[in-house]
Structure 1
Amino acid sequence: MTMPLEIITIPCLSDNYAFLLHAPGSGLTALVDAPEAAPIEAELNKRGWGLDFVFLTHHHWDHIDALEELQRTFKPTVVGAQADVHRLPPLDLAVKEGTVFSLSREDVHVIEVPGHTVGHIAFYLPESKALFTADSLMALGCGRLFEGTAAQMWNSLNKLAALPADTMVYSGHEYTQSNGAFALTIEPDNSALQARVREIAKTRAAGESTVPSLLSLELDTNPFLRAGLDELKRTMGMEHIDSELVFKEIRERKDQF
């Protein structure tokens, strides 16, 4: 019987998150993204953990900049997207859609989620019911389309939305409060969204993180996941419009919000 992973959320920089995944049975520890070395090293030292793996979701500086410093201390195995080997730090394991590798005895599934960048990947651990999405699916939002197209991001979000609803979504930034304010402009009468926005305000007032979030909650409240629903299309006055185009309209509105 495999012991469940211990997952630690680490605030970094001004609004980033990194995540430690620790397997109590083997003592192995992985890090998802490397925004800032000091808080990550402090958490590892506090817990007496080493660092065996680093999983990189995409090439943006605020997800990789601390890697070199961490490598000097810990010598971890670095995992990242095969599609982005030309602009990621040197990888020990280059992965793509469908790649499955192991952390201790638990399978880690790689899902390609282009949109925010064309080489963005997510890491899904079904046994731990954990999904690490960085800047693809975010709490009440999705990443800005810096490189990819609306069609790519819509397809990526639909892949993630099809995972079990009790999956916890570990996204890369503390944008939830502003995302909630925008979401209310799309679905002002969504009672689940109204309740979530109220809860987020309390959470942030207490200085606490809103990440991770349940996928079921995202399905009920995140307008970017809900662009295919008739109720949202009616609210937007876009009945009978293709869902991908509705998503594109929501993303464009968010860019101007």
Structure 2
Amino acid sequence: MLSITPIPAFNDNYIWHLQEGGQHWVVDPGDFTPVERALKGKKLSGILITHHHLDHTGGIDALYQRYQCPVYGPRGIAGITHPLADGDSVKVLGMSLTVQAVPGHTLDHLAFVLNETTASTEEQLHLFCGDTLFAAGCGRLFEGTPEQMYLSLLKLSKLPPSTHVYCTHEYTLANLRFAQTVEATNPIIAERIAHCEKLRADNKATLPSTIGLELDSNPFLRCHLPQIAKSVAAHGAHSKQQRDSAVNVFAGLRGWKDQC
């Protein structure tokens, strides 16, 4: 049975640990030591990398030297043994893993969708989205354009609502408080804040989320809605004439969040 658990690293990173049938994979191991501790003497079977930032790649070299396991990720990153690109499909833990290019945070950013078939033959999708989509937020635009990031988020938002979302930072509460500033009357945001505050009080991760929950409460996936455009315009983040452009609303919203 597939198990997906977070390995805390640094101040707020999560390295995702996938286990099934005695195999162990990790996603975005920015640090060797917490992965080694989580493995408890077991062999690492493989590594998935979403993008080139050091807090996602810093453990590759030591893990590869220790386990000689395949490393899948964007072409051009040091240590990648199996370069991947948009539309590729590989087998991970005996399951199909498909690759989606999601530029914006970085130009090389990939997202991975793992298709788990449960005992009842129902499909459950698991999205590993790095720093593109966060719970109630999205990543900063370090390399890409607002249009690139918006289209990447739109692509991810079209996954089934039941898709589990595994991002790589514990930013949820800060993102939700910003979301509440943007859309104060959304009751789902208030419910998420209360729920996530309880989780963090118990030192538990607020992840995974789901695509459905993000569609209902993440302002960066709601830029097409009049209430988000109105809020961004009231903040002075874009001109009134451009209010109907979802990309422009997104750009204004991202700029607003960057100032917080």
Does the pair score TM above 0.5? Answer: yes
State the SS of the aligned residue for 2:16. strand
Q: 1:187 aligns with which of 180, 183, 189?
A: 183
Q: Are 1:78 and 1:91, in contact at CA under 8 Å, matched by a contact in 2?
A: yes
Map 1:81-120 onto structure 2 (within 5 A). 81-82=74-75, 85=76, 88-120=77-109
CA distance in 1, matches of 2:146, 2:38: 37
CA distance in 2, matches of 1:75, 1:20: 17
Aligned residue in 1 for 2:256: 253
Q: Are 1:78 and 1:93, in contact at CA under 8 Å, matched by a contact in 2?
A: yes
Aligned residue in 2 for 1:79: 72
Unmatched tracts of structure 2, length 5 or more: 117-123, 234-239
CA distance in 2, matches of 1:70, 1:178: 32
Aligned residue in 2 for 1:40: 35
Unmatched tracts of structure 1, length 5 or more: none
Q: Which amino acid aligns with 2:244?
A: I
Q: Are 2:137 and 2:219, in contact at CA under 8 Å, matched by a contact in 1?
A: yes
- Measured after TM superposition, the shift of residue 235 of structure 1 is 4.2
Q: Which amino acid aligns with 1:207?
A: N
Q: Are 1:150 and 1:248, in contact at CA under 8 Å, matched by a contact in 2?
A: yes
- Measured after TM superposition, the shift of residue 9 of structure 1 is 1.1
CA distance in 2, matches of 1:89, 1:80: 10
State the SS of the aligned residue for 1:192. helix
Aligned residue in 2 for 1:225: 221
Q: Are 2:105 and 2:143, in contact at CA under 8 Å, matched by a contact in 1?
A: yes
Q: Are 1:31 and 1:53, in contact at CA under 8 Å, matched by a contact in 2?
A: yes
Deviations 1:121-150 (A, max 9, x none): 011012242000110001111000000010
1:199 aligns with 2:188: no
Deviations 1:81-129 (A, max 9, x none): 13xx1xx123221110100000132000001010000000011012242
State the SS of the aligned residue for 1:159. helix
Deviations 1:170-219 (A, max 9, x none): 00101111111111111011111111112111211221111211111111
Q: Which amino acid aligns with 1:148?
A: G
- Measured after TM superposition, the shift of residue 14 of structure 1 is 0.7
1:12 aligns with 2:9: yes
Identity of aligned residues (%): 39
Q: How many residues are paired up?
A: 246
- Measured after TM superposition, the shift of residue 23 of structure 1 is 2.0
State the SS of the aligned residue for 2:219. coil
